[in-house]
Structure 1
Amino acid sequence: MAVALPAAAETLADAIALAYESNPTLQAQRATQRALDENYVQARAGWRPTLSAGVQDTYTQTRVPGAQGFVDTNGDGVVDTLASTSYSERYVGNAFFSLNQPIYTGGRVAAAVTAAEADILTGRENLRRLESQILGQVVQAYVDVRRDQEAVHIRQEDVGVLQRQLDESKARFDVGEITRTDVAQSQARLAAAVSSLQSAQAQLAISRGNYAAVVGQNPGELAPEPSLAGLLPVDVDKAFDIAEDNNAQIRAARYTEQASRARLAGARAERMPQVSVAATYGFSGLGRSVDTDTWAQNITARASVSVPLFNGGLTTSRIRQQVERNNADRISIEGARRTVLQTLTQAWNQLLAARANISSTDEQVRAAMIASEGTRQEQQVGLRTTLDVLNAEQELRAAQLSQIGARHDEYVSAAGVISAMGRLEARNLTPMAPRYDPKTNFNKLRVTWGWAPWEEPIGLVDSVLVGKTKELPLEPPANAAPLPQPEPGKSRTK
């Protein structure tokens, strides 16, 4: 039903805000991130006390079969009693409360907490990356619809001009100025123009469907694309520097390496001793007795230290395994950097080519308009044929279509450069719109059910041999501003 509603997003900023709020792929990733936040709580539970209670009631019945036959009970030599089976039963009940508090885990829990934090930061970068992809799809869909709307308008104008040309050719044929060949040429060009118009209308319908799929509703009369100049760097070297610090793929690879480094520390912590304290309070007695004074009370307190000595080489194997996994993650950082370098280089050169094409197509359209008008005037004085007029008109339409295609490609390439730099985000494009902050949910979980005030000092002691997760800075561009409207006749990315 949302797709069938009239469009409300008349500008690119509106489309971005709507997709940012309602896109199902983006919403699902946010839910996945909130689920990932729970790993932090689960890891910190290793520093918290555990309390358990139990009640048990045991019934025991014992039957001991006696000797077969009769028994002489008084020793007078006369059998006077039949041997019987001995029988007994017993009810025993007990209840207890047990408390256990870790004091030092050798860094095991600290490593798990650090790894969970790094995983959460990796998830946030994956969310940023998906957001950039979705907004790139919005930009693509928006300019596709705009391009196809202009293409349909050009095709419609072409059909109208060729229809008038056909009517004029028929009138001139009737008075004997031209031949039937000229009329047939006009008819053929008109039929081809009608076919091209139908194809353009079909392409527009496809682009509108793509827009509805990513934004959430059908497009209406879309406003011109705003300038992206505020987010573009002055040169490609500056773009590389920005991508090094802001690209989500590179940042995610770095956080992944931090997580595997923490898991390596956790594997090494398996060699360290563990210290804990525990207490148990319980009752035990006859299960059927209602007199609690007959029940025994048990109070037990203990402090334990356990030191692993030998486990068949399991710990050593796990350490070697985590070392290699950390090596792989560290190497993956360079792989991510090279992938981003390739993507950014491609997008930057596509942008330069599109800008050059805009200048060329602008000049092509200007010259084609002069040629079309001149050819038509020359035909009226007999210097040009009908075919010359048709060819000039065809070249003009082709130039106009090339012009809107070049402008479309320029805008998409500019968005690709911004995306590769890691700045194609809602906070940079529509900073005034409500923004989803994944830190909000995480901050709620730092002090939640199960939190104990003494877990912080225990965590500090446990973290002595384990490094902390380092959150990388992420700053928005200094000149970021809401998407403005472009000036007529100006490039939309320069």
Structure 2
Amino acid sequence: MFNSRRGALLAAVCVAGLGCAAPAFAETLAEAIALAYDSNPTLQAQRASQRALDESYVQARTGYRPTLSASVQGNYEENRTPGGRLVNGVRVFGPIEGNSGSAGFTLSQPLYTGGRTAAAVSAAEADILTGRENLRRVESQVLANVITAYVDTRRDIEALRIRQENVRVLERQLEESKARFDVGEITRTDVAQSEARLAAAQFQLSQAQSQLAISRANYAAVVGQNPGDLAPEPSLGALLPTDVAQAFDAAETSSPQIRGAEYAQQASRARLAGARAERMPSLALRGTVGWNGQADPLETEDYARNIQGSAVLTVPLFTGGLTNSRVRAQIERNNADRIGVETARRTVLQGLTQSWSQLIAARANIGSSDEQVRAARIAAEGTRQEQQVGLRTTLDVLNAEQELRAAELAQVSARRDEYVAATNVLAQMGRLEAPNLTPAVTRYDPKTNFSKLRFTWGWVPWEEPIAIVDGVLTPKPAEKPMEAAPTAPK
């Protein structure tokens, strides 16, 4: 595994323009998202953690179910009396030995737990809902990383092309400068200026190659394969709201941070009900059947059988203040979780405001950079033509060429920044999900695993009416509805 990953990273370095052949296959952003959605280890681990969390619901419901235990016991006894003992008037020395054996079964069925089990079940359900929102949050982070790695790689590929073109132009400029110097049209200073600019451009080209290798390695780490010939990324306009007010409304209902905090508050409220239930009585039925007799020699037909049935009512009377302390602690934990909802809401509001502002600024920057590139191209071409008739110097041409390359690089970065800002807006809103970005992908539904656990080994039909009675006074978690997000065009 390590060797294969190391080979992938080496391949990422090679195809950055350092002498190795690039793979001959194209790739779209939708394909990259689908691959990461199915195979990213961070996302796979979070799904496994969610499936483990689903088991807490089964474990909590065992409080309604009967328990059966078996026990086997063997005893050996030896008594020694100093000075012996009298048996029928005769003093006898030596130990008295004896042995016995017993076996039995005990069956216990809770009838009413005072709401303890109902509270545990409600808390488990709320924890599972919280876990699902954490899974959505991790999925959003992974997809944001995929998109960022994708557009970073495309930006750096384009930047490398610009740097390569710059080197080629400056090489021609140097050759032209040397030819004009040979015929006495320019001085040695003009040649030196061309040489200096070419050396700087070659260094910038090496930097661009290195940056592309880094971006390709980041892509391979998050997607699971090296990038090929990446296609232009599709527009996210269909998923974005028309104004920031709509973004705030969508985040209020769909943000995994806010929804997760609300479910965490519901879980602590259920645990508070469980702490209060410790003051309530509990009722259970208990039955035992056992056999006992001599173990050695073993004569099972001589064993006595004992059958006992009982109804056990347990009423807590005094716990030294333990129950009251637990109730107070749960009250404060619930207060903290309730405050945490507002904290999450403000955090999302802050992040969404920042991302939206960055999106607006990036869109404005795209327009400015496009105009800058257009003007710089005209200026660079005019400067070269004016140099031919002696109206411009070599330095003027070199400066115009440098400004054009800087404008082209700024244009590439502006488009990348706009796409990343749009991605961050969707993440804050809770819309950055694989099915929204790639409708063809099969959604991973955590409810599928949970539904399989509703009736598992150990379930008994009478636990349902017991659960209804036990949960009369226990708050139930409520799953919030979530907006139906639009999907990106194919």
TM-score bracket relative to the smaller structure: over 0.9
Measure, in 1, the Cα distance between the counterparts of 2:84 and 2:162.
114
**How far is the alpha carbon of 1:3 from its aligned partner?**
6.3
Go from structure 1 to structure 2 and tell me whether the alpha carbon gap of 1:280 and 1:461 turns closer, same or farther (over 3 Å shift): same
Contact 1:3/1:217, CA 8 A, preserved across alignment: no
Measure, in 2, the Cα distance between the counterparts of 1:280 and 1:241.
60
Contact 1:3/1:216, CA 8 A, preserved across alignment: no
Counterpart residue type for residue 68 of structure 2: L
Go from structure 1 to structure 2 and tell me whether the alpha carbon gap of 1:429 and 1:269 turns closer, same or farther (over 3 Å shift): same
Measure, in 2, the Cα distance between the counterparts of 1:64 and 1:327.
67
**How far is the alpha carbon of 1:86 from its aligned partner?**
4.8
Equivalent in the alignment of 2:192: 184
**3-state SS in 2 of match to 1:472:** coil
Equivalent in the alignment of 1:38: 55
Equivalent in the alignment of 2:46: 29
Structure 1's unaligned 5+ residue stretches are 75-80, 485-494
Structure 1, residues 401-438: CA drift from partner, whole Å, max 9, x if none? 11001001000000000000011111211221123221
Counterpart residue type for residue 40 of structure 1: Y
Aligned match for 1:363, one of 340, 354, 371: 371
Counterpart residue type for residue 394 of structure 1: Q
Contact 1:7/1:217, CA 8 A, preserved across alignment: no
**How far is the alpha carbon of 1:2 from its aligned partner?**
4.8
Equivalent in the alignment of 2:294: 286
**How far is the alpha carbon of 1:463 from its aligned partner?**
0.3
Equivalent in the alignment of 2:114: 106
Q: Is 1:459 matched with 2:476?
A: no
Structure 1, residues 446-477: CA drift from partner, whole Å, max 9, x if none? 11111111111100100001011101122431
Runs of 4+ in 1 over 6 A off after TM superposition: none
Measure, in 2, the Cα distance between the counterparts of 1:356 and 1:335.
32
Equivalent in the alignment of 2:177: 169
**3-state SS in 2 of match to 1:412:** helix
Contact 2:250/2:483, CA 8 A, preserved across alignment: no
Measure, in 2, the Cα distance between the counterparts of 1:377 and 1:325.
75
Equivalent in the alignment of 1:480: 487
Structure 1, residues 66-87: CA drift from partner, whole Å, max 9, x if none? 369xx9x99xxxxxx9x54154
Counterpart residue type for residue 61 of structure 1: E
**How far is the alpha carbon of 1:291 from its aligned partner?**
4.2
Q: Is 1:245 matched with 2:253?
A: yes
Measure, in 2, the Cα distance between the counterparts of 1:117 and 1:67.
68
Structure 1, residues 238-277: CA drift from partner, whole Å, max 9, x if none? 0000000000000010000000000000011011110000
Structure 1, residues 323-373: CA drift from partner, whole Å, max 9, x if none? 111111101101100000000000001000000000001011011111111
Aligned match for 1:18, one of 14, 17, 35: 35
Contact 1:4/1:217, CA 8 A, preserved across alignment: no
Equivalent in the alignment of 1:469: 477
**How far is the alpha carbon of 1:34 from its aligned partner?**
1.3
Go from structure 1 to structure 2 and tell me whether the alpha carbon gap of 1:4 and 1:429 turns closer, same or farther (over 3 Å shift): farther
How many residues are treated as equivalent by the alignment?
472
Aligned pairs for 1:35-434 (under 5 A) are: 35-66=52-83, 84-288=92-296, 290-434=298-442
Measure, in 2, the Cα distance between the counterparts of 1:170 and 1:88.
120
TM-score by length of 1: 0.92
Counterpart residue type for residue 48 of structure 2: A
Larger Rg: 1
Go from structure 1 to structure 2 and tell me whether the alpha carbon gap of 1:340 and 1:160 turns closer, same or farther (over 3 Å shift): same
Counterpart residue type for residue 222 of structure 1: L
**How far is the alpha carbon of 1:56 from its aligned partner?**
1.6
**How far is the alpha carbon of 1:4 from its aligned partner?**
3.5
Measure, in 1, the Cα distance between the counterparts of 2:470 and 2:424.
45
Contact 1:286/1:295, CA 8 A, preserved across alignment: yes
**3-state SS in 1 of match to 2:355:** helix
Structure 1, residues 93-138: CA drift from partner, whole Å, max 9, x if none? 2111110000000000000000011111111111110110111011
Go from structure 1 to structure 2 and tell me whether the alpha carbon gap of 1:404 and 1:236 turns closer, same or farther (over 3 Å shift): same
Counterpart residue type for residue 355 of structure 2: A
**More deviation in 437-446 or 145-154?**
437-446
**3-state SS in 2 of match to 1:94:** strand
Contact 2:275/2:330, CA 8 A, preserved across alignment: yes
Counterpart residue type for residue 39 of structure 1: S
**3-state SS in 2 of match to 1:64:** coil
Identity among equivalent positions (%) equals: 68
Measure, in 1, the Cα distance between the counterparts of 2:299 and 2:413.
93
TM-score by length of 2: 0.93
